[in-house]
Amino acid sequence: MRRPDRLLTRPLPEPPAALRRGPLRPGAFGSRLHGPATAARLGRWLGPAFAICFVTGLISHFAQQPPGRFALPPTPVWGYRLSQGIHVATGIACVPLLLAKLWAVYPRLWEWPPVRGVAHVLERLSIIPLVGGALFQLSTGVANIAQWYRFRFFFTVAHYWAAYITVGALVVHVAAKIVIVRVNVGRGWAERASQARESGVTDRVSEPEPPGEGLSRRGLLAATGLAAFTITATTAGQFVPGLSDLDLLAPRRPDIGPQGLPVNKTAAAARVTATARDPSYLLRVEGPRPFALDLDALRARPHHSAHLPITCVEGWSADGTWAGVRLRDLLDEAGIPHDRSVRVDSLEATGPYRSSVVAPPHGRDPLTLLATTLHGEPLDLDHGFPARLIAPNRPGVLQTKWVHRVVML
């Protein structure tokens, strides 16, 4: 019985030489910058950046759709702002890094022979979901922060699952690479590796640059790094306090909008303009002792203030001074136990974020408010008048606007 590793490493017959035309011909790609040394150096930046994006993306996903009893803690209040800001910043930085990486390895798509064994086939096949997934993640991510939704799928779900596909393809790709390297070492590369160590070149990254004219390897890497830094620095102002003046390429500034804060979805877009202004408005709190408050009664309640950031998945974040009724006071009055979650419902009739679940850590936190004012003024209609949820360390899509009901779960 043949061992599986021998089946993976058994060489396949070479294709006819007559097929070696066009990009398959020797010397089809003459630039000295193509090659593993350039690609490896770019990979040292791109790999960690993708890993950071993946981890911070999971934090955002689980904050919005917690598995089981998981919930982000309410402290630090700026935690989600930091993780989502890092997610967007590294994603933007990945754009020039990935393009440069693909340019460096592009000739490998036309290497000869096209396949050398089963492990090589797996390595090459893994390139399809790996490259496709990476391009999909970055392109849809950029479209999301620009709120350019021309695709017919729900961004967050597609972005989440495509991340797993991309990472899975990367694992298969690396595993196949390891098998191929081990086989090549066993077929005579050990001697070459020994010679390389004696000459001071211990890996493909340290290969000396071939002589030639034009842009050098160092120049390409410097230009790519400068592009990544520039595009990140000129968009980071949308979530980093104090850098809004450098916010040149980002789709929005965090200080522009009603009452000095941006708005993603207006009252008109949510179709709540009339219901939010209805004089018969009531806030209902449903629990063992249900009750309802009209707008005057809600405003007459003791108000508390909190200076909290609001952070959206599109990458912007802004600080606001909110004032309103503590949610925990309403829950206590309704007799809702401390260990029970509640659902906060909006006047918005449709949409994926017309309600949100508030777990006990947030529901009982003293900074979690049903806010009625922002910066000392009544809430603007587009910011959630007559009342909106505002809680620490929570995604903006879960800070429900136009609240009219709180229900015990």
Most confident of 65-79, 239-253, 283-297: 283-297
What pLDDT sits at residue 374?
96
252 burial type by CB count under 10 A (0-12 exposed, 13-18 middle, 19+ buried)? buried
Q: Reduced to 3 states, what is the DSSP secondary structure of residue 405?
A: strand
**Rounded Cα–Cα distance for residues 190 and 183 (Å):** 10
What pLDDT sits at residue 47?
87
What pLDDT sits at residue 111?
81
User: What DSSP element (H or E) covers 227?
Assistant: helix 217-233
What pLDDT sits at residue 29?
78
Q: Using CA atoms in the order 60, 306, 406, 353, what is the torsion angle rounded to 10 degrees?
A: -30
| Closest CA relative to residue 97, chosen from 51, 161, 128, 157 | 51
Q: Average pLDDT for residues 330-349, to the nearest whole number?
A: 95
| Closest CA relative to residue 391, chosen from 378, 403, 377 | 403
Q: Which neighbouring-strand residues pair with 370?
A: 325, 389
What pLDDT sits at residue 1?
44
Please, which residues have CB within 8 angstroms of residue 91's CB and are 6 or more apart in sequence? 53, 137, 138, 141, 142
Beta strands in 270-398 (DSSP E): 282-286, 291-294, 304-311, 317-326, 342-346, 355-358, 369-374, 377-378, 388-390
Banded model confidence at residue 114, pLDDT cuts 50, 70, 90 = confident
Banded model confidence at residue 207, pLDDT cuts 50, 70, 90 = low
Return phi, psi of residue 319, to 5°.
-90, 145
Q: Is the pLDDT of residue 266 over 90?
A: yes
> Token pair of 240, please?
């980093």
Using a pLDDT cut of 70, give the percent of the chain over it.
Answer: 88
Q: Which neighbouring-strand residues pair with 306?
A: 322
> Can you name the CATH fold of 260-408?
Sulfite Oxidase; Chain A, domain 2 (3.90.420)
> Token pair of 129, please?
């979901």
What pLDDT sits at residue 203?
44
> Token pair of 20, please?
């070696």
Q: Is the pLDDT of residue 184 over 70?
A: no
Average pLDDT across the chain, whole number:
85
Q: Which neighbouring-strand residues pair with 197?
A: none
Q: Which neighbouring-strand residues pair with 2?
A: none
Q: Is the pLDDT of residue 238 over 80?
A: yes
DSSP conformational letter for 131: H
| Sequence ranges of the domains in the chain | 4-238, 260-408
The pLDDT tens digits for 9-33 are 666 677 777 777 777 787 777 777 8
